[in-house]
Structure 1
Amino acid sequence: MELSRRALLSMVPASALLALADPLRARAAAAPRDPATGRGARGHLPAQPGGDLARLIDNTVAVLAGTAEVDARPEVAGKVSAITGAAQDHLDAMDAAGDGELFQGLGDLDTSDRNLTKSFQYLYEVALATRTPADDNPLHGNEAVQRRVIDGLTWLYDHYYGDQSKGYYGNWFNWEIGISQQVSKVLVLLRDQLAAYRPELAATYVAAMDGYLRNGKDGDVDLDSRFHTGANLADITTDRIMQGAALGDDARVSKAVADQLTVLATIDPYRLQHGVTDGFYADGSFIQHASVAYTGTYGTGLLSRVVQTLKILDGTAYLPQDDMAGVVRRWVVDGFAPVIFEGWMMEVVKGRGMSREKSGYRDATTVVEAVSDLAAHSSGDDATALKGYVKFVRESARAPLDPTAFVSPVTVARYADILADDSIPARDLRDASYTTAFNAMDRTVHHRPGWSFALARSSDRISKYEYMSGENLKPWFQGDGAHYLYLSGQDQTHAFGVDYFTAVSPYRLAGVTAPVETRKTIPELYGTQWYDNPDAGFTASSEKQNTYVYFPCGTDSHSGGATLGSYGTASLVLSDDVAYAAKQAGRLPDDFVAYRNARATKSWFLLDDEIVVLASGVHDPAGRAVTTTVDSRIAAESDAVSLTGCLRDATRWRGPGTAPLAWLRYANADEKTAVGYVFLDSPDVPRGPRPTVTLDTVSRSRRDVNAANPDTRITKQVFSVVFEQPPGAPTTTLACALVPGATERQLRRYAHGPLRVLANTPDVQAIGHARLGLLAANTFAPGTHIAGHLAVDGPASALVRRGGDGITSVAVSDPTTERDTVAITLRGRSLRPVSADDGVRITRLPGATRIEVTTRHSYGRSFVARLR
């Protein structure tokens, strides 16, 4: 019987394979190449690198460990100290390790894939210190320590990694990516030492890593695999580039580079390659896990890996001739810059990562690191703009960015040089005022001087939330119109991050309409971190688990909006998720728990001084009570929070409770922040429901929202403004405006304009703003809907602005992504076209102007016309 490589690896320990080193070395030079790949047979000793491979190895070592010149710089001392300090801690832990441990405290390696991965990580961090050429680094070049690392690799292989019949438990990511990341770096860093001390170990490990690539094909990347996409594909291919360098395997490097280049392609949802929806879209959206808005976590990982590839391939023939750096620059401008506010990565693009203790400043630090390196691979105005953005993020961040968190000492030096360069002005990559509609991932971001607003939507295309691995335990409404209003000058860890989700009720996140009920987390429902039912197709990372448990989409297609210059609309039809729909259709097991949602039609109008929010048809089909939260904000227990307001009868508001408010002002004197809330009349509901205002002190553990968080208890003041509907109540219509930084004087003025709600029904929602000359509408049903002087063939979103120069600008979009054409009619005058986007047709009518837009395959983007 012929044994496969995988079977062989499961039977023979590394120590036995090392005994074969001498005869294999003799055969290595004459070994045949695979005619299909040009690659040497697995198990052969590493070839001696030359030319491009040698440059690749040198580049990789420099990226990870720095150079003597760089590491001697005072700005890099903190990074070097972090490297050497971590290594010494790990060596001490090796000395204190007990039975079944390589490092003290990391036991249960035959059942804990997390501890096994950490063991490999610690070996890498020790190896890294021995290659970090700082003068005051006692570990640099220490062969005894390097041999301890190599012995540690051998021990882990012999006892826990080499036997693949026992391995691959827990999370697939650790086996296909996590462990391989650490091992691959060690193989490059200690290549010469491995050749002299354990010459077969590198080839043995590479063969094992191929064997563990079980979601691939024949031990290699499979571009048709749902696991080999986006950031995961970049991780795997970067590992394989380093493995090829360690083995002197040119073909392996070339194949890995070619595979990684596929992540640079802009995703066209109408012409998917390999069925992959993960990656960057034309509007700057980034998706991972097929349907999760993920710029802030997986997106930063992809950015980091691709820029790292640029660095390690620099000066070699492996670096593609195409403008790889140019593609990545567009990611930064269109995808990352809009979702960073004063150095903070916004919550709406972080998936389950929003529940982690890692702050938004740390997430943005990864972007700053990549941009610092990207600037070095750019020239002219591009380089200047990128360097200016690095300085802008650093200067605008309200918490210091920590360059010791950078991967490379070389980047720390580059970052220091950028900050010290007085010829580079600190400048954002975007204007101070703009709106970005990330309709491909159901997100909208609105920036103004002093504040930014981020909105999370969902649809039958994009997930309502992401839960996985015990992280983000209470996510149910995070994609149902949850919003985040960031105020300038504030340390955002005091306003958002993990403490916001810990302190604020998951049913009362800002912007959310939710039924009043108590839901259970996945571990509470099933006793495990997933729904475990293999007979029904549910295993830890099965497609059913993803679809119905980890990141379910909604069931309505309407989620989108339009942008016109720096103004925007957004709209959403609140729906059940696909799990509830499948359960009702009898497609899920009886013990699978699915929750029903409330109903509402909602719009957001994004202006200069305010965000106008309309909701209509708010009710619950099951007859439950419903809450619609206007806003929820947190503050420190000791902060001086004040609430002032005015009733509709112009008398002073007396304090928390339910009241007929005309406006309300929240202020935090310690943070020097304020937000105003104006409660508007709808045409058919001149006196809307009364909001309830609360200010409570809440104490909870961060572990309540993420099982991986330490059991850290936090205490916060939680302020909320909520509309409450009792059980069985008729449908409700709501209208309000959020006014960031508002004074009481400013809020009083809204009684006389300039805002007016023109329509607020389940079919059409619209506002007019007299000072801006703006009319904005979202329509939700087929047919013609009238809002002021605008008739809209719905469903559609439209913005019309009459400028002082006599130009009327119009923007139109299809928020469902399903329509071939959309038409609107401007009534009152016949206007002639000045300019129009492709796909826009303008017809002059008696006393009106009709604008028809071909929206087929536009994926929700806005079409603009200018008329006179």
Structure 2
Amino acid sequence: MPSAQGSSRRTFLAASGTGAAAVALGLTLPAQQAAASQLAPAADEFDTLRLRWRELMLGSGFDATAEPYATKLAALGTSARTALATMAPASGSLWPDLPLTDAATGSAGMSTSYGRLNTMAQAWAQPGTGSTGDATLIAAVGKGLDHLYTQIYNENTKPFGNWWDWQIGSSRLLMDTAVIVYDTLTADRLGHYTAAIDHFVPDSAVAVYSGTSTGANRTDLCRVLATRGVLGKNAAKIALARDALSPVFPYVTAGDGLYADGSFIQHTWIAYTGSYGEVQIDGLSRLFALLAGSTWAVTDPNRQIILDSVERSYAPLIHDGLMMDCVNGRAISRQTTDDQLMGRTIMAHIAMLALGASPAERDRWRALIKGWTDRAQTTPVLADQRLSVANLALLRAAVDAAPTAAPAPVGPHLFPAMDRAVHRGSRFAASLSMSSSRIAYYENGNGENLRGWHTGSGMLAWWGDGFAGDQYSDGFWPTADPYRMPGTTVSRKPLADGEGGAWGAARPAVTWVGGAGDGTYAAVGQHLKGLSSTLTARKSWFFVGDEIVCLGAGITAADGMPVESVVDHRNLGATGTNALTVDGRRLPTTLGRHDTFPWARWAHLAGHGGYVFPGGAAVQSLREERTGTWRAINTGGTADPVTRRYLTLWFAHGTDPADATYAYVLLPGARQLETAVRAADHDKVRVLANSPSVQAISSHRLGLLAANFWTAGAAGELAVNGPASALVRTARRTATLSLAAPERTGAPVELIWDRPVRSVASRDPRVEVLATGRSLRLRITPDTACGTVRTDVVLG
């Protein structure tokens, strides 16, 4: 039996130069290959991997007496002692509030019980918890593991409830806990636990890459198999886990996984770079670190795709340390997590992945982490008590080792495969959520996200520089009006909780969703069909520097219900009194005040930003206090009331509108004077067209023409013979034409630009030049992934 502290970290550091030891030393995994090659024979190598996994879970390189670790560790001890005090093994339960076979909770009580035991094990193993090395605590952990094995998680039990609890939730926690307390386990106990894993997670669980064994789920299954192999000293299990990871690596063109455009999809129809994407990068970063330099090192060359995903998939969706909710799926309804925690957790996974990356990648990623950390607008990242000790240590090490802080990027980033887009101005970031026959309106399941109905109906979320970092993490989801998500066009037709079906079943029968971007500007559009309603509309967003031009046309419905297009639904916090000014008139901040402006030209919300209505428009505003509960949107939440204040601006299209329109310019972060000046500047960006056939803008000042063609048509000097999204950007003697075909049929599109063109300087292989001279004619065969095809020309 080892000392009360458990396995010595000094032993681990001496035995292995990889894994979390590199976190503390600021080294990279490749630099440690020589040390790893001197590992002892197979039995000792299993022990080395076990100690390495333990260190990855518990963290290293931190001072337990310093903050934020001291407070975090003390809280861990308190939680463990509470769990110990309430643990009462009985038939059908380990804790009275967690029945193991309750019809209402299904198998969730089992996984939660394993989670409490894991907390107790960590408190015993970690320093500074007040229960470090406590004999009573560790004895209770063993007793609890045995009780769960006897009662439910054993090789004779037939699974019921949620498959995830049996194959991932409980199995992962059981193996991790067994690693932490390994030196207190008898061979018989360990044999029982590994036998249970072999029963619920057999080799066949990863035999075929399909069903529930894809993407993040496959990564989790491999994590279970690898730790089971380490604990049971079974080389074949570890090799199987390594090899079964390979199908996760390549880009996919349908279903779950990473796409070449940076998208990540799980559950076939859901944009999931956050949540399930977090699980995937967590599992992969840990397994890469665990196996590096060992007999079972991951050497598949496609492993590089995972490394590339840091900058291709994750970083574009992280804003100042938060992961945008447009890719968090049903997790937006969870009370215990939010965009801030999701982003910071992914940052820690990137820090771990950096340990096995090239020096150049490592430096870039650490610079990203430092930039996000420095710009975080809410609780400082390195003091966030919601993060684990290990993740806090990882982030601290990454920030300290960063060569510099990467600046916030600017410009658009499109994710066609998951119907998402991001745009950053010099002082804001915005995300756009759409839906199509390929991507669901929203996801609900397991009683979660019951009212996320309209989050895929063109929701335009945004965060300003230096303010409103908690816009969507400060009680937004339980209190916001689910019929008034910002940027959306919706019918007020009442919808049932979980309307449309679970797990992404509800998808609109539309294909024109997506757009074209040139790295500086972008045109994005959505053919909208309402969830369980007759509503149809064409919506466009043009990302132009520090503003977003928003157009809607063809807004039609016949449900006998009002239809609205929501300019914004701004969370003012619990006590916010931010002033709304419309056309120079400052309005009272009285709660419940509803105003109608028959012909507004601009509006400004103090502390947030401005809104311009080109040519004037009828606009509604409402200042209200809204109260809701987490349980109303997620059955796992509490019934405690949450109250927040909102300022909403919207266009009321009336009941059963026919071909209604709207137009506004969003100016996130703009001051009041800037907004008024922009409203008077009619030439900066002009709306050329806003109809069901084409929506287009132009800016002579910027040399920009952008259009979404819903059908064949013309806008300004540009014409196409079929549906397309197009941008033309001109400089003094050159121009760049960018085109995408969001319907993704692969059918050629002919484009005519009525400008003298001397020659084509460069072109995508998919572009055929039909004519130059007095005008330019191109035939473009777009790919079926809605990628942007580019042509550079010299002007005549």
TM-score, structure 1 as length reference: 0.81
Q: Could you say if the C-alpha distance between residues 742 and 660 of structure 1 is closer, same or farther in structure 2, counting changes exceeding 3 Å? A: farther
Q: Which has the larger radius of gyration?
A: 1
Q: Could you say if the C-alpha distance between residues 62 and 679 of structure 1 is closer, same or farther in structure 2, counting changes exceeding 3 Å? A: same
Report what 1:229 is aligned to.
214
What SS does structure 1 have at the residue aligned with 2:571?
Answer: strand
The offset of 1:828, in angstroms, is: 2.7
One of 176, 179, 188 as aligned partner of 2:179: 188
Q: Could you say if the C-alpha distance between residues 791 and 575 of structure 1 is closer, same or farther in structure 2, counting changes exceeding 3 Å? A: same
1:168 aligned onto 2:121: no
The offset of 1:377, in angstroms, is: 2.1
**AA paired with 2:260?**
A
**AA paired with 1:436?**
H
One of 193, 199, 206 as aligned partner of 2:194: 206
Partners in 1 of 2:453 and 2:285 — Cα distance?
35
Partners in 1 of 2:574 and 2:44 — Cα distance?
62
Deviation track 1:321-373 (CA, whole Å, cap 9, x = no partner) reads: 34577433321111111111122211111111112221211001111211222
1:487 aligned onto 2:464: yes
Report what 1:39 is aligned to.
none
1:790 aligned onto 2:790: no
Report what 1:159 is aligned to.
151
Is contact 2:600–2:619 with CA below 8 Å preserved after alignment?
no
Moved more, 841-850 or 743-752: 743-752
Q: Could you say if the C-alpha distance between residues 769 and 570 of structure 1 is closer, same or farther in structure 2, counting changes exceeding 3 Å? A: same
1:50 aligned onto 2:43: yes
1:293 aligned onto 2:221: no
What SS does structure 1 have at the residue aligned with 2:280?
Answer: helix
Q: Could you say if the C-alpha distance between residues 498 and 98 of structure 1 is closer, same or farther in structure 2, counting changes exceeding 3 Å? A: farther
Partners in 2 of 1:612 and 1:66 — Cα distance?
47
Partners in 1 of 2:169 and 2:334 — Cα distance?
19
Is contact 2:758–2:793 with CA below 8 Å preserved after alignment?
yes
What SS does structure 2 have at the residue aligned with 1:105?
Answer: coil
What SS does structure 2 have at the residue aligned with 1:220?
Answer: helix
The offset of 1:596, in angstroms, is: 2.1
One of 737, 748, 751 as aligned partner of 1:824: 751
How do 1:172-571 residues align onto structure 2 when only pairs under 5 Å count? 172-194=163-185, 197=186, 199-213=187-201, 219-269=204-254, 277-322=255-300, 326-357=304-335, 358-399=337-378, 400-401=380-381, 402=383, 405-407=386-388, 409=390, 411-421=391-401, 424-428=403-407, 432-493=409-470, 495-497=471-473, 499-522=475-498, 546=503, 550-571=504-525
What SS does structure 1 have at the residue aligned with 2:752?
Answer: strand
Q: Could you say if the C-alpha distance between residues 733 and 144 of structure 1 is closer, same or farther in structure 2, counting changes exceeding 3 Å? A: closer
The offset of 1:144, in angstroms, is: 5.6
Report what 2:602 is aligned to.
664
The offset of 1:786, in angstroms, is: 0.8
How do 1:533-612 residues align onto structure 2 when only pairs under 5 Å count? 546=503, 550-575=504-529, 595-612=532-549
Is contact 1:355–1:498 with CA below 8 Å preserved after alignment?
no
What SS does structure 2 have at the residue aligned with 1:381?
Answer: helix
Moved more, 845-854 or 512-521: 845-854
Partners in 1 of 2:664 and 2:362 — Cα distance?
44
**AA paired with 1:663?**
R
Q: Could you say if the C-alpha distance between residues 65 and 729 of structure 1 is closer, same or farther in structure 2, counting changes exceeding 3 Å? A: closer
What SS does structure 2 have at the residue aligned with 1:554?
Answer: coil
| Root mean square deviation, CA, Å | 2.6
Is contact 2:249–2:303 with CA below 8 Å preserved after alignment?
no
Report what 1:851 is aligned to.
778
Is contact 2:550–2:665 with CA below 8 Å preserved after alignment?
yes
Moved more, 758-767 or 377-386: 377-386
Partners in 1 of 2:395 and 2:662 — Cα distance?
49
Report what 1:676 is aligned to.
610
The offset of 1:826, in angstroms, is: 0.8
**AA paired with 1:235?**
D
Is contact 1:699–1:715 with CA below 8 Å preserved after alignment?
yes
Is contact 1:388–1:425 with CA below 8 Å preserved after alignment?
yes
Q: Could you say if the C-alpha distance between residues 200 and 738 of structure 1 is closer, same or farther in structure 2, counting changes exceeding 3 Å? A: same
What SS does structure 1 have at the residue aligned with 2:362?
Answer: helix
Is contact 2:340–2:473 with CA below 8 Å preserved after alignment?
no
Partners in 2 of 1:208 and 1:241 — Cα distance?
15
What SS does structure 1 have at the residue aligned with 2:152?
Answer: helix
Partners in 1 of 2:376 and 2:405 — Cα distance?
12
Report what 2:734 is aligned to.
807
Q: Could you say if the C-alpha distance between residues 325 and 391 of structure 1 is closer, same or farther in structure 2, counting changes exceeding 3 Å? A: farther
Partners in 2 of 1:121 and 1:416 — Cα distance?
26
Is contact 1:815–1:860 with CA below 8 Å preserved after alignment?
yes
Partners in 2 of 1:110 and 1:694 — Cα distance?
45
Partners in 2 of 1:742 and 1:619 — Cα distance?
33
Partners in 1 of 2:209 and 2:395 — Cα distance?
38
One of 62, 84, 89 as aligned partner of 2:82: 89
Is contact 2:604–2:675 with CA below 8 Å preserved after alignment?
no
**AA paired with 1:88?**
R
The offset of 1:863, in angstroms, is: 1.1
TM-score, structure 2 as length reference: 0.88
Deviation track 1:642-696 (CA, whole Å, cap 9, x = no partner) reads: 111229xxx999995222334332323xxxx232221124xxxxx76x2212222
Report what 2:34 is aligned to.
none
Q: Which runs of 5+ in 2 are unaligned?
A: 1-40
Is contact 1:164–1:212 with CA below 8 Å preserved after alignment?
no
Report what 2:552 is aligned to.
615
Is contact 2:552–2:663 with CA below 8 Å preserved after alignment?
yes
Q: Could you say if the C-alpha distance between residues 142 and 356 of structure 1 is closer, same or farther in structure 2, counting changes exceeding 3 Å? A: closer
**AA paired with 1:560?**
G
What SS does structure 2 have at the residue aligned with 1:506?
Answer: coil
Deviation track 1:88-142 (CA, whole Å, cap 9, x = no partner) reads: 3322222x6677542353345454322221111122222333433x3x5665555
What SS does structure 2 have at the residue aligned with 1:626?
Answer: strand
Is contact 1:97–1:105 with CA below 8 Å preserved after alignment?
no
Is contact 1:63–1:408 with CA below 8 Å preserved after alignment?
no
What SS does structure 1 have at the residue aligned with 2:655?
Answer: coil
**AA paired with 1:602?**
K
What SS does structure 2 have at the residue aligned with 1:475?
Answer: coil
Q: Which runs of 5+ in 1 are unaligned?
A: 1-47, 270-276, 532-544, 578-594, 682-686
